[in-house]
Amino acid sequence: MAFRHKMFRHFWAVGLLFLMITSFPLWFSTPITAYPNLSLLPIPEEAIKSVRYFGISISAVLTVGLLGSFLNRSSQISWIIIAVTLFLGFLFDQHRLQPWAYQSFFLASLFFCVPPKNWWRWMLPLAVSIYAYSALGKFDAQFLNTVGKELIEFAGSFLPGSLSVALEPHRDILIYILPTGELLVALSLCVRPLRIYGSAAAICMHLVLFSLLGPWAKNHSLGVLIWNVMLIGQHVYLISCYRSDGQERASSHLTQFTTLQTVKEAPLLSALWVWVLIAPSLERIGYWDHWTSWSLYSPHTSRARIEIHQSGFEKLDESILESLSPDHDGDQWYELDLSLWSLSERGVPIYPQARYQLEIAAYISARYDFFDELRVKLQGISDRRTGRRDEKRYFNAKEIQSARTLFWLHPR
């Protein structure tokens, strides 16, 4: 039994280490790069460069902690180092709040605070929340008409032509298979007799996603594929724990593990778990971030569309110029493809939050001394039924700086 827990802990450490390697520029970026390092909390302008180097030091400590989790016999100290450095990493660069890093922070805290035999009881509510919130975020018009439609059309391209045509009238129903499956997984994990089936269904779902998103198909980032493998491994571990728990109960008639026992076991961790389970419910009203609410492949998220005028091109770094979309309407304004820029410079998708992307616009404006060469469309969360968004436009540096006051969190 102890071997199973040890192997899962090592498995997660290896996965997290590989995710850091695939997103190396995100964790070890330097001040010379054009892509901004935007902290979550205010930091004075003169301290930004030194803070970025401090952020590199945090990432180095995190790497040492992951390696130490293999060498240290108890490894508890290594995991509290991992949890603390992940938290500090988020503070000094909010782009590091990738869903896999956010989940790993909670699992690292769990590995430190709770005896291994009880890990799975804490992992279950976290897993339920991930699938439940991810599913609920996809039941909207934006998913129906964009990401969901693309996934179904791509999957349909592998079917015989006659079958694909026959399924076309049922496209909308097929699109909602993925979020419905996620929701059913979440519900089944809540019911003891169904947990093994729920975890088995989750494994199948991640295998399907892996096949659809791999380099042989949609070619999404390597980090997405690694995280799917890690989630598969998590459910293999959970299934083994369900079986072991059932055998122990049958042989010794153990009493049920109560909520009160859970709270007494680790009160600080209990408070952390309550927060992570409840906070995502605030996402749709704008009080919690999309990725920390498990809005995965949910295109309803807020955003900023940044456009740069051709007259400012001579000031720009090459990485920005390479990430500009074509000028289809001939007005000499070019949209900065933030997703492309983020993937090329950081190795991860852009953080899907209007606040963060507006800060990128403010950073570019200040770095290249733009005034009216840069403009921004700030788009809110889409309406669940219609898919429409509130949109505000800001046409110069002064208006962009004013727009920053709409949000509570500022890097400086």
Average pLDDT over residues 140-167: 78
Which two tokens mark 204?
Answer: 């199948």
How far apart CA 153 and CA 365 sit, in angstroms, is 39
Maximum mean pLDDT: which of 35-44, 239-248, 273-282? 273-282
Paired strand residues for 305: 377
Predicted confidence (pLDDT) at residue 257 exceeds the cutoff of 60 = no
Q: Kindly give the pairing relationship between strand 303-309 and strand 391-394.
A: unpaired
What is the phi/psi pair of residue 309, to 5°? Answer: -80, 150
Of the candidates 27, 112, 102, the residue with the CA atom closest to the CA atom of residue 68: 112
What pLDDT sits at residue 166? 66
Distance CA 236, CA 46 (A): 49
Q: Where are the domains of the chain?
A: 2-293, 303-406
Packed helices 267-278 and 99-113: angle between N→C axes, nearest 10 degrees: 160
153-167, 272-286, 359-373: least confident range: 153-167
Which H or E run includes 379?
strand 374-379
Q: Which residues, listed in sequence order, are joined to residue 307 by a DSSP beta bridge?
A: 335, 375
Give the pLDDT confidence of 199-238 residue by residue, as tens digits. Answer: 999 999 999 889 888 777 777 788 899 999 999 999 999 9
Amino acid of residue 396:
N
Across the range 274-294, mean pLDDT stands at: 94
Residue that the structure tokens 């295109």 belong to = 299
Tokens, residue 263: 């709270």
For the entire predicted model, the pTM comes to: 0.91
Taking 80 as the threshold, does the pLDDT of residue 119 lie above it?
yes
Angle of helix 222-252 relative to helix 195-213, nearest 10 degrees? 170
For the record, the structure tokens of 387 come out as 């898919």
Six token digits for residue 136: 């609920």
Q: What is the pLDDT of residues 342-382, one digit of tens each?
A: 999 999 999 999 999 999 999 999 999 999 999 999 999 99
